[in-house]
Amino acid sequence: MTLRVLAALLLASVSLTPCTHAGEIIRFQAGAQAHTDVVLAHVPVKALVAEFLDPGDTGTGKSLSYLVWREILTAISDQAGAGVILARAPGEERITDMLEKDYHGAAVRIAKEQKASMAVWGAVNTAGGDLFVNTYLSLLPETADTQLKLTLSGEPSLPPGLQAKIMRTNYNFPLVETPRARLFERRIVTRKQVTLRATADPSAQVVATLSKDKALDAVDMDKGWFKVRLANGQVGYLDNSVVDVPPRTIEATLVSTTLKATPGGQHVRNVTLNGPYRVLDMRYEAKTGLWYELEVDKVHGWVPAHLVRARFSLPIVHFVAGLYRYQFKRYEDARREFAQYVSALNFVNDNPSLASAYQLLGASTMLTKNTVFETDDSVLEYFSKAVNATPYDPSAYSLRALAALAVQRKAETALKDLEQALSLDPTDPIATRITDTIRQDLMKPGGGRLRYMLEDGAAAGPKFENLANRYPMTGASTRE
């Protein structure tokens, strides 16, 4: 029994040159002895999207995995060194039949074989015209564990050890209930001259030939094929590999800009973008990057993508895109993606994924500055929301403690958070190391760098010494 892996890589420079797509299909055996060659071998950051489970055998699992895969590609289209792999069952075979019960294990195993840093998978159930989608994410410690950090730096002579990790590696995202049309009714854009076929089959009758860069109305998906309706009412199918897949909508808040007649072209009208807008077309242009065509006040025109916020079909796309950006130190882009994630749904307060998203949103916001010490203290709200979402997690308090040191220049707030972290877990390696680092610096004869940076540095030294006595710090600086 074989399983195919469809791989795609967007090769684009950081200066936003037009992207190209490279793909290949490779085979490997399902089961204990399964193994396959690594694709995109020289790509430093890869995610693997596994075909979604589809208990009702509706074909929607295949369609949804293709859509998530393609939207992640769009989300990272300007990022050099970023790749996405889609693992799918061949032909009409069901992923559940091939992998039996160990779906999660198989997805992670395939991701590890492909040297990916993330594994994305999910399941979809249908009820009438509605879909109920569960999505999951695993970060692979071998590649991701050392990359998601907040480190206080940018000031001379700061002691090493003022660092905390975003610790969570497995995510169970909230259930998404959505009409089918909200996922699959959208614009798509041909990447070359293509043939529209009567059914979702490469050997089906050709019903039309379409030119390159033609924006089309997709009305549904059938596995990996988009069902499209032409202006004359004719219906046909296009394989997803021959089209670009823009976000269904973009959002903006009081953004003043100029609509262009073409991407980077002549002026059409000055407008203020405020609210959601349906994406009518999408283009990559050399040097100027990605552009969207919108209708604003009954006028069509193009705006650069960096001025607006894409809204992708499922929140997990924003979360994964944020992780890519964070690992590539594109912190402003990461901040935008995590902000889109936390605004996507009404989350429950104790959701661990939400806590991590707020931690990454806060860290990204701080790291956009030349030094984290320039950050406004409003960033603490993100870390506080993470604490509120997971009040049982010591690392949430440690991250807020670091943020408080940087933006408030006070030890007292950090002390309270570290004390809470240690009360939850007296052996927590992050909290013990940070506490010991601060204690040693403040208690140095004559005082270290922190003592003079912090408003209450001199008074805080004995308090940190007291905390260290209550929670022994033996080996704290090297235990993580």
Looking up residue 343, the CATH number of its domain turns out to be 1.25.40.10
Q: Which of 144, 162, 195 is the last residue of a domain?
A: 144
Which residue type is seen at 39? V
461 and 372 belong to one structural domain: yes
Contact criterion met (CB below 8 Å) for 7 and 40: yes
Q: Is 477 part of any domain? A: no
Q: β-strand 176-179 against 130-139: which pairing, if any?
A: antiparallel
473 token code pair: 């710090």
Beta pairing partners, 272: 256
19 and 129 belong to one structural domain: yes
232 and 353 belong to one structural domain: no
Tokens 């959208």 correspond to what residue? 186
Q: Is 284 helix (H, G, I), strand (E, B) or coil?
A: strand
321 and 450 belong to one structural domain: yes
Q: Is 275 part of any domain? A: yes
Contact criterion met (CB below 8 Å) for 395 and 423: no
463 and 372 belong to one structural domain: yes
277 and 366 belong to one structural domain: no
239 and 265 belong to one structural domain: no
345 and 435 belong to one structural domain: yes
User: Could you list the residue range(s) of the whole structural domain that residue 211 is in?
Assistant: 186-244
395 token code pair: 């690392």
285 and 373 belong to one structural domain: no
Work out how many domains the chain is built from and give that number.
4
Which residue type is seen at 133? V
Degrees (nearest 5) of the Cα angle 194, 18, 311? 80
202 and 281 belong to one structural domain: no
Q: β-strand 2-11 against 82-88: which pairing, if any?
A: antiparallel
Q: How confident is the prediction along the chain (480 residues), in pLDDT tens digits per residue?
A: 344 444 443 332 222 233 333 333 333 344 544 556 787 778 888 899 988 999 888 889 999 999 999 999 899 988 888 889 888 876 666 665 655 567 788 888 888 888 889 999 999 999 888 999 999 999 987 765 446 888 887 666 788 888 888 888 899 999 999 999 999 999 999 989 999 999 999 999 999 999 999 999 999 999 889 999 999 999 999 998 899 999 999 999 999 999 999 999 999 999 999 999 999 999 988 888 899 999 999 999 999 999 999 999 999 999 999 999 999 999 999 999 999 999 986 555 558 899 999 999 999 999 998 888 888 989 999 999 999 999 999 999 999 999 999 999 889 989 999 999 999 999 999 999 999 999 998 998 877 888 888 888 888 999 999 998 888 764 444 444
Query: Is this structure's pTM higher than 0.85?
Result: yes
Beta pairing partners, 123: 53, 134
87 token code pair: 């693992």
E strand or H helix at 419: helix 411-424
Tell me how far apart the alpha carbons of residues 5 and 76 are, in angstroms, rounded to a whole number. 20
Strand order in the sheet with 194-197: 206-210, 194-197, 235-239, 225-229, 215-222, 186-190, 243-244
Q: Is 155 part of any domain? A: no
CA distances from 283 to 300, 394, 425, 451 (A): 15, 45, 51, 53
Q: β-strand 186-190 against 215-222: which pairing, if any?
A: antiparallel
What per-residue confidence (pLDDT) applies to 187?
96
Q: Is 235 part of any domain? A: yes
Q: Is 370 part of any domain? A: yes
For residues 63-96, one letter each, b for 16 or more C-beta atoms within 10 angstroms of the residue's C-beta and e for the rest, the string is: bbbbbbbbbbbbbbbbbbbbbbbbbbbeeeebbb
401 and 370 belong to one structural domain: yes
Instruction: Kindly report the CATH number assigned to the domain that includes residue 207.
Output: 2.30.30.40
Contact criterion met (CB below 8 Å) for 184 and 67: yes
Q: Is 297 part of any domain? A: yes
Q: Is 378 part of any domain? A: yes
DSSP state, residue 148: S
Tell me how far apart the alpha carbons of residues 112 and 117 are, in angstroms, rounded to a whole number. 8
| Burial (0-12, 13-18, 19+ Cβ within 10 Å), 321 | buried
Tell me how far apart the alpha carbons of residues 409 and 402 are, in angstroms, rounded to a whole number. 10
Crossing angle (nearest 10°) for helices 429-442 and 411-424:
140
350 and 455 belong to one structural domain: yes
Contacts within 8 Å (CB) and 24+ apart, 18-25? 18/284, 18/285, 18/286, 19/77, 19/78, 19/284, 21/73, 21/191, 21/241, 23/241
Tell me how far apart the alpha carbons of residues 226 and 231 are, in angstroms, rounded to a whole number. 16
Q: Is 249 part of any domain? A: no
- Region of 71 on the Ramachandran plot (φ > 0 left; ψ -120 to 50 alpha; else beta): alpha
Q: Which of 244, 273, 290 is the last residue of a domain?
A: 244
What per-residue confidence (pLDDT) applies to 479?
40
Q: β-strand 130-139 against 45-50: which pairing, if any?
A: unpaired
